Amino acid sequence: MQRNAVDVLQGSLDVIVLKTLSWQPMHGFGIARWIQRVTDDVLQVEEGSLYPSLYRMENKGWVKAEWRTTENNRQAKYYRLTAAGKRQLAQSASTWEAFAEAMAKIMAAAPQRA
């Protein structure tokens, strides 16, 4: 395990999953692997928590699930982004960018004297 691993907050998990699904439909295991690979295992997701997140987003109509056969000839549930999910992702992305920018400015700020 990485020493400087970061726990992922519930709210950001949804965004991460949406982003993951924006390229192609994927099953939960695939999503976990993708996050691991892209973040170099920095973001420590308790992988089980992906599923309630997926189910919740399915209830909201952001993702749609269907059972498919994998390359290894096994049954797996694939999730894909719906139009509503894409809209949600775009909205979350801009929120995150603004937040990250603000955060970066705060961390870079020098102490000021009044």
Write out the residues near other proteins by the rule CB under 8 A. 27-29, 32, 46-49, 51-52, 55-56, 58-59, 67, 74-77
Q: How far is CA 84 from the centre of its chain?
A: 16
Query: Cβ(50)–Cβ(17) under 8 Å?
Result: yes
Q: Are strands 43-44 and 6-7 parallel, antiparallel or unpaired?
A: parallel
In this complex, which beta carbon is closest to other proteins, that of residue 68 or of residue 87?
A: 68
Minimum CB distance to other proteins, residue 28 (Å): 6
| Smallest separation (angstroms) from other proteins to the CB of 56 | 6
Task: Report, in Å, the least distance between residue 58 CB and other proteins.
Answer: 7
DSSP 5: -
CB nearer other proteins, residue 65 or residue 93: 65
Picking from 65, 72, 81, the residue whose alpha carbon sits closest to that of residue 24 is 81
